[in-house]
Structure 1
Amino acid sequence: MSYSLTNRLTAEALGTALLVCTVVGSGIMADKLTQDVALALLGNTIPTGAILVVLITIFGPISGAHFNPAVSLVMAIRGDLTWGCLAPYVMAQSFGAILGSLVAHGMFDLAILQTSTTVRTGGAQWFAEAVATFGLLLTILGTIRFRIESVAVMVGLYITAAYWFTASTSFANPAVTIGRAFTDTFAGINPADVPAFIVVQIIGALVAMGVAGLLFSDAPDADAKAQKA
């Protein structure tokens, strides 16, 4: 079934909003419940991985469930998203991400409009974001190639792991990075640090696309394998 652009943009905006609302809201809840930073991060990690499985499952058939400008860019380069849809997708995702932070604030009776004071900068953080986004795109492209029905689970599991093995806790998403600049809570990022994060995220995504092209170019895709079965 083919969905209208309006439906697809609504799915991207709503999905990204729910994703960021989960990231920010679970961070606020975790911070309220414990002073143990590791436990708070765990309380932030599990809901984020879980909601990704849900959101990709329900919105994937409508818009592809990108929720991420880096993913949309790679899909446009691959021809899986028309170039004319790229800018609207990115705008919908960015709007949804900001909205998600505001909704989370409202649920916890915090000031709705905030900007983060949490500094996230430096070579290690930038490298971590490049690695995190590289791994995310490689996960998506590999799963699309070999086991497309498992994309939701694979992305949820990857982000759950990447929260812990990356120094930046794996934003891996320009829209989410923008949305998290609008919350001065556990999940926030200083707006001044956002541009560098976005640059390295895009670089990581493009490198992953190149590596995936080399690794998977001669492999039968999931549809072809299904037809042979």
Structure 2
Amino acid sequence: MHLHHHHELPEGNPHGPGSSPSPRHRALRIGLGGPVGTGKTATVAALCRALRDELSIAVVTNDIYTREDAEFLLREAVLPPERIRAVETGACPHTAIRDDISANLEAVEDLEDQLGALDLILIESGGDNLTATFSKGLVDAQIFVIDVAGGDDIPRKGGPGVTASDLLVINKTDLAPHVGADLGTMARDAKAQRGDLPVAFTTLKAEDGVRPVSDWLRRRLTAWTSATA
């Protein structure tokens, strides 16, 4: 398991383990947002399990008054404890990911200082509504998670999370027959709202159910690495 590897750096580069990497070599930062209960933390956990053997990963979670999401990840042992940071926002979740991102940036920088070179940092927002977006000063790309239990009209309702996120995840597809949700309708409405932007359908209870998202992340990381090489 390559949880503590450090990338080889060009000769003369001062940013070894324990140093803050330059923007050229820093980790890809991915934000995950979405309404309460859609499965954001479960998606983060599944991604960590799927990618931790091949990538150096860290996670920042956001909760308003607790550290519940971070504690869930710690209980599940998806990463060593030093790779998980909790931010208590004390306000609406979108404030800490869009308006005043200082607490999240501090958490990211602390992880980079402590762990050295990382491949990927996942930043999970607290549960918010369809308008939640991440500041471009905090993340390089964002994933927005909805679920079929919220109704198959959610993609049609739009909002920045649905229409403009780099990846829209429609989770809990296994529940569709039980809640009367039509996955075909959701796919068509998402396409109408998003154009060519990708949509992934997931059911995290299935083996490798997060694969559409982990595969997208691998492609995103390959593009990021090529662009910053």
TM exceeds 0.5? no
More strand by share: 2
More helix by share: 1
TM-score relative to the length of structure 2: 0.25
TM-score relative to the length of structure 1: 0.25
